[in-house]
Structure 1
């Protein structure tokens, strides 16, 4: 194959699972569906109630994982079977395969004449960066089984990376992990963000609160935002749901307000009305900060991960240690010394818009198809 046409090529999109709505991986798949309206989607398991309108328009094919008991809830428990499930997928009729990887997706076996591009959100955290934390949280009996299984999965993860003709990372931090763990070079193309929507909410007069928005899971470190604001007596609005909700509420004082999940318009207004977004976790990229910036507000971010690709002195600032004290000092520095222009911040966010992603990805496909 020398060229790939958006209109005539037979394209397969492989995504690890479709059981959540509005995650970063789902947004990438939606943008790829817009590029290739006739593409088929392959995934391990799918929850039809969580599909966006865009995804509903496509043929979705599942591996045998979808037929396993309680797979829509406990899909990660079937991780050891996923390499086998992927290798049974028949892709013989496709010209181009695009795998979306942060769970097992890239391990499909494409024909020699089919080009395969892997868009990597991150190498699987539970096998590499966070393996010790996952093992520590498991009960001792399960841990005995996890140690050899993780060893096998790491070997498969490295070997299956060689099956792609090209790997694209969503940030410089992820490209560095790909180089370290898989031994592969990766081009960086940031994921698509709907910056045009959020910039319509720019508010020149922010409110009196700081904002945390995202899933309430441990690695996103909402606890740091809560503790820092508690130390300073600052108002904090927390948007999101997750397994950490109960623990976070137990440490929060009267100035911390939990909103749970909110509609898109309300979220946009919260972005535009905050003093700044607090972004205390180490993320692979981080779509929420870009949405906040598109709405004209700055970001106070932990100086690790994807945030290093887009936070500058024109749109926010960093704190360097993952402690409440370090974040609190950054908040005080923000209030004492810094001023930000909403229009400038929003303009900087525009380079992460959906059209930029689509153009960059089609250019990557063109290079691979000619290689």
Structure 2
């Protein structure tokens, strides 16, 4: 650090002696700043840390852009899909934008961000406004530029939260820890140095202003961040339940709230949100605690309006959800530290809007809830709403624009632009814009195809609509993900099966016509139709032809006589010629079979491996196997071999049962249910178990939502399909669960498993071979460890969700930009 800066940091003016004041020569006066000329427009640049999502910092950025609609934008990276909050503005980015895996691993480039932000050239602007919680305030400015920095927080993980960050990242000791500490030390020095180039700081709360004072030795003007209070309606009638809503990450302390209410069975708690701590939080829940997971805004709004109180246990810089709850007229029970102290009026006020607890402990929350019940009559919904309105977006724009105007002489006579909601201009060509997608799927159940589609719609949520031909758990999952979804009545078409079963021709044609009409109506608002299943592809091809929209089929089957009847194969071949612009295959095996059947141009077929999220499995890494087995009512000491798929003959669960007869030292766990008229097969399996005396060694768990927990509860995963599998999602999930995988040697499986390296291959239908391999796995520790280690690396490197989503999105964009409906 520069010695002058260090001296100033150590010996502040208020601490200097009288002798020092007399003997130190007066500091030279800085020359006056050249004010921007008033006879020209003031040029404004807005610099933001990174643009990857729409969260609290981006809400502030949205309103700053509204204050200065002609400003130019700069950011370290920009990977936004929905750009509406930026009013369609382009963004100048740094060299990190083009580095490998920057879209998903941009935080890993933190050591390069100081130099990256310094390479953004804003020298042509009169005013620079940085929106900073990391490095944006470090942008280089000249002596005649005014730099105003709205600070959400100094870099938290480099300052007071460093030790918490290192613990959560498991970097408390060792060489990596030393390197991380060295990097954070460098960032702290850089952070202090660059604070000197900021002319005026704005903080989002008094709490952050104090942090700025402590870190930078600078005062900050406080302007609370904008909250969209108009999106929440005052609701005076409250119901007898408490609410908490947040992303489930450690510092939010949702687990403490759940633990507290689990010890208060007479009180009901509703929890909304998702994140890495989900499994940990579910484990602490009691019957009086409802874990809803991620919910669309309308559900959150409804629960927030009707809740008796909103419970908040995090130490936040501000805490937008606390204000949103009060906008609904709902009082708040909050941890008494951080920004909540500035947004909630406690019982010492004549018009209280909530109360505080002193410690982040379950006991403290319990005491606060009990005290809240005692004083419940003092909380008035209208008072909560009035308090929340102090933090409206309009109020933020007025205060922020006034602050910038007072700091820039050339803006003295300027007035705040009239706020107008942004309406996107329709694109001239779909090639340059992210396309609007109509996704269609025939099923309401949560099969492998539907789970894979769910990853796509989560990523493209803002510009995708989903149509299902049947209702069920998949529709619920889509609702939970906040996706626009509708269910069409498929009528007699529900009876169509891959193997050729069909309803009477008249009924079938009537059902097809109805689905096509409804799909055409929706397709007119989309740029591309994305069909996820075979029956959906047929409807999509017809609808695409009528609506003049390109159709992309995500092929998740091997289209051969082993999987489809002759009629279905003819229909697939006909639809390929009629209306398919492109095919995405989930494996090379699927792609080859489709090309052989249809003669489709190979340039119109791409292979994109399914992406499977590691987070649900990683979240269970520290959960004891005994805990998972107890939850699922599985034996604690047995060697458990798991099968994970719907109960269907071609999935080969009977092969695993035959192997159990040959291997008396093992148990089989069958996770799955008959989904498509395959109930007789389940009856057959149960009869086999009874006839061979396997009742105490075979465990039918039926359909399970938490596949990760089931996989982490077993010792090995068996994939036993007797006909070629198009992909083999279960195999990758087993690798992510860090369990050794045994799989059938056919189809797409061969593109995942390298025999003896990351899994073991057996001949399809060979029960003796399967029994021998499972026995070897049980006794050979070195083999198990090698398969687990290599399998996990394979799953992460080749089958991650980011690459999967990016691949599908790239193809959809290419089809919209370069192809027409066939």
TM-score tier by shorter-chain length is over 0.9
TM-superposed deviation, 1:367: 1.9
Who is 1:296 aligned against? 329
Separation in structure 2 between the aligned mates of residue 218 and residue 93 of structure 1, nearest angstrom: 43
TM-superposed deviation, 1:69: 1.6
Greater RCO, CA 8 A, separation 6+: 1
Separation in structure 1 between the aligned mates of residue 278 and residue 301 of structure 2, nearest angstrom: 22
Note the aligned Cα RMSD (angstroms).
Answer: 1.8
Would you say 1:316 and 2:354 are equivalent positions? yes
Separation in structure 1 between the aligned mates of residue 293 and residue 197 of structure 2, nearest angstrom: 41
TM-superposed deviation, 1:52: 4.3
Residue deviations 1:267-326 (CA, integer Å, cap 9, x gap): 221111111111101000011010110110001010100011121131000000110100
Residue deviations 1:221-252 (CA, integer Å, cap 9, x gap): 11111111111122222222211112111221
Who is 1:134 aligned against? 165
3-state secondary structure, aligned to 1:180: helix
Separation in structure 2 between the aligned mates of residue 259 and residue 75 of structure 1, nearest angstrom: 30
Q: TM-score, normalised by structure 1?
A: 0.94
Residues 112-191 of structure 1 correspond to what in structure 2 (within 5 A)?
A: 112-136=143-167, 137-139=169-171, 140-191=174-225
3-state secondary structure, aligned to 2:128: strand
3-state secondary structure, aligned to 1:232: coil
3-state secondary structure, aligned to 1:123: coil
Would you say 1:28 and 2:60 are equivalent positions? yes
Who is 1:77 aligned against? 108
Paired residues in the alignment total 366
Separation in structure 2 between the aligned mates of residue 9 and residue 263 of structure 1, nearest angstrom: 41
Separation in structure 1 between the aligned mates of residue 281 and residue 44 of structure 2, nearest angstrom: 44
Separation in structure 1 between the aligned mates of residue 263 and residue 43 of structure 2, nearest angstrom: 56
Gap change, CA 1:260 and 1:47, over 3 Å in 2: farther
**Which residue, out of 387, 390, 394, partners 1:351?**
390
Would you say 1:96 and 2:96 are equivalent positions? no
Separation in structure 1 between the aligned mates of residue 253 and residue 50 of structure 2, nearest angstrom: 24
TM-superposed deviation, 1:45: 1.5
Separation in structure 2 between the aligned mates of residue 14 and residue 211 of structure 1, nearest angstrom: 36
Residues 176-255 of structure 1 correspond to what in structure 2 (within 5 A)?
A: 176-198=210-232, 201-233=233-265, 234-255=267-288
Separation in structure 1 between the aligned mates of residue 288 and residue 148 of structure 2, nearest angstrom: 47
**Which residue, out of 73, 77, 81, partners 1:41?**
73
Gap change, CA 1:143 and 1:56, over 3 Å in 2: farther
Larger radius of gyration: 2
8 A Cα contact 1:98 1:117, kept in partner? yes
8 A Cα contact 1:3 1:366, kept in partner? no
Who is 1:286 aligned against? 319
8 A Cα contact 1:215 1:241, kept in partner? yes
Which consecutive unaligned segments of at least 5 residues does structure 1 have? none
Separation in structure 2 between the aligned mates of residue 101 and residue 196 of structure 1, nearest angstrom: 26
Separation in structure 2 between the aligned mates of residue 40 and residue 250 of structure 1, nearest angstrom: 48
8 A Cα contact 1:45 1:66, kept in partner? yes
Would you say 1:342 and 2:381 are equivalent positions? yes
Would you say 1:14 and 2:50 are equivalent positions? no
Separation in structure 1 between the aligned mates of residue 100 and residue 73 of structure 2, nearest angstrom: 22
TM-superposed deviation, 1:138: 2.8
8 A Cα contact 2:138 2:194, kept in partner? yes
Separation in structure 1 between the aligned mates of residue 153 and residue 301 of structure 2, nearest angstrom: 27
8 A Cα contact 2:35 2:144, kept in partner? no
TM-superposed deviation, 1:266: 2.1
Who is 2:88 aligned against? 57
3-state secondary structure, aligned to 2:242: strand
Who is 2:298 aligned against? 265
Would you say 1:364 and 2:403 are equivalent positions? yes
Separation in structure 2 between the aligned mates of residue 53 and residue 254 of structure 1, nearest angstrom: 41
Gap change, CA 1:337 and 1:73, over 3 Å in 2: same
Separation in structure 2 between the aligned mates of residue 131 and residue 357 of structure 1, nearest angstrom: 31
Gap change, CA 1:343 and 1:368, over 3 Å in 2: same
8 A Cα contact 1:4 1:96, kept in partner? no
Gap change, CA 1:112 and 1:309, over 3 Å in 2: same
3-state secondary structure, aligned to 2:325: helix
Separation in structure 2 between the aligned mates of residue 345 and residue 325 of structure 1, nearest angstrom: 26
TM-superposed deviation, 1:257: 2.1
The runs of at least 4 aligned residues of structure 1 exceeding 6 Å deviation read none
Residue deviations 1:10-69 (CA, integer Å, cap 9, x gap): 221111111122x110100000111111222211122222x3412151121111111122
8 A Cα contact 2:36 2:126, kept in partner? no
